[in-house]
Structure 1
């Protein structure tokens, strides 16, 4: 009987060992499946993030290029306005010089009157 009991115990142990091994295999398979699924999800998420970052970078570069173009245009317009104002000032100065050459006494009188008036205005 002892041998029979021991044989039964060995059989039960083998059965338990088999079940444990099967359970371990199921856990390993489930873990592998979960890891594979997680890897796929993370890869998709990473691809999505990468795509969005590239899209945002392209938009930022486009906006920066547009801003640079606008600044260049504004600079050119400013330069043209400056040149035009300088030309007008040079023309006006030439006219004033010509007037002073033609009528020096009147020019001095106008200058004295303007200086006196400016002094009165600034004194207050």
Structure 2
């Protein structure tokens, strides 16, 4: 009978060990599944954040490009206006020289002399 009690005790211990091992396996599987879900959620959030940041960067680049084009157009208009004014002044100077050549030469000599004095030092 003593042998039968030992066998029953061993069978009970084996059953308990197997049940404990099964609980550990189940807990491990649950932990892995929970971790996998958490990692997937985090990856989804990172991906959404990257998409959002990419969209914002693309929008900012588009706005910057539009602004640069606008400023380039404004700069070109200002350049064209300046060139038109310079052409007008040059035409006026030619007309003045044609109408009053002696006075134009006298003004040029006086301006040359004055500039020479200013830049001599």
TM-score by length of 2: 0.93
1:9 aligns with 2:15: no
Q: Does 1:38 align with 2:38?
A: no
Q: Displacement, 1:95?
A: 0.9
How many angstroms apart in 1 are the aligned matches of 2:91 and 2:60?
A: 46
Structure 2 unaligned blocks of 5 or more = none
- 1:110 is matched with which residue? 107
**Structure 1 outlier segments of 4+, above 6 Å:** none
For structure 1, list consecutive stretches of 5 or more residues without a partner in the other structure: none
Equivalences, count: 121
Deviations 1:92-120, CA, capped at 9 Å, x for gaps: 11111111112111111111111111111
TM-score by length of structure 1 reads 0.91
* Within-5 A mapping of 1:91-110: 91-110=88-107
**Quick one: distance in 2 between partners of 1:19 and 1:97?**
115
Which residue of 2 is the match for residue 72 of structure 1? 69
Root-mean-square deviation (Å): 1.2
Paired with 2:108 and 2:2, the residues of 1 have a C-alpha distance of 134
